[in-house]
A = this chain, B = another copy of it.
Amino acid sequence: MKGVARPREFDEDEVLDRALTTFWEHGYEGTSIDDLVAATGLGRASLYGALGDKERIFGRAVERYCARMGDVLQTVDDDPSARAALGRLLRMLVTKSSPRSGPRGCFLLSTAVGGDAPRAARDAYAEYTSRLERALIALVRRGQESGEFTQEVDADAVARMLAVLLQGIAATARAGRAKAQLEAAIETMLALVARPGR
């Protein structure tokens, strides 16, 4: 009864990745539909047909980025040592912020901090930072209880300060700061909150 449709000539996830990269590099307003057409290789009509209008494409790209970053926070609880877990989390975020190729920094930060991005960007950024902060709070509490971290300052305060530092990492990475300097910053911070021999 029902006919069979012509199949798509592209992989949706791949297209979404290219769209994400383009939005990440040039921002929401700095990316035109023609830019997306050029980056994905699709035709205009196919782009609209498959992913919707510009704001919807952007929302899908946000979702995809969030899915990527969600995996990072998952690995925190694996390590029995809170210090090692914190170090691993911080180093992983630095590595993600300054890849060998591709846009630097944090997509959500860059779009939310910049000009007029759709609400989806700010909402996703707020939720991401909230999750990051909660993970850090749990981690620092664990480190204080185990004696790995200095107990002279409030655990939650230290965790929130770490969350702020990580926003700075993403921002400076975006601005082109060398990866080595970002690493130095987090190692210095680690030395301050969790001195090995104490």
Contact = CB atoms under 8 A, between A and B. Distances in A.
Interface residues of A, number: 51
At the interface, is chain A mostly helix, strand, loop or mixed? Answer: helix
Given A30-B116, A174-B113, A164 B185 contact: yes
Interface stretch (A41-49, A54-62, A66-74, A122-130): A122-130
A86 interface: no
A153 interface: yes
Contacts of A153: 188, 191-192
A47 B19 CA distance: 36
A139 to B, nearest CB: 15
A195 interface: yes
B122 A114 contact: no
A189 B150 CA distance: 13
Contacts of A158: 188, 192
Interface string A170-181: 111011100001
Interface stretch (A1-9, A10-18, A76-84, A104-112): A104-112
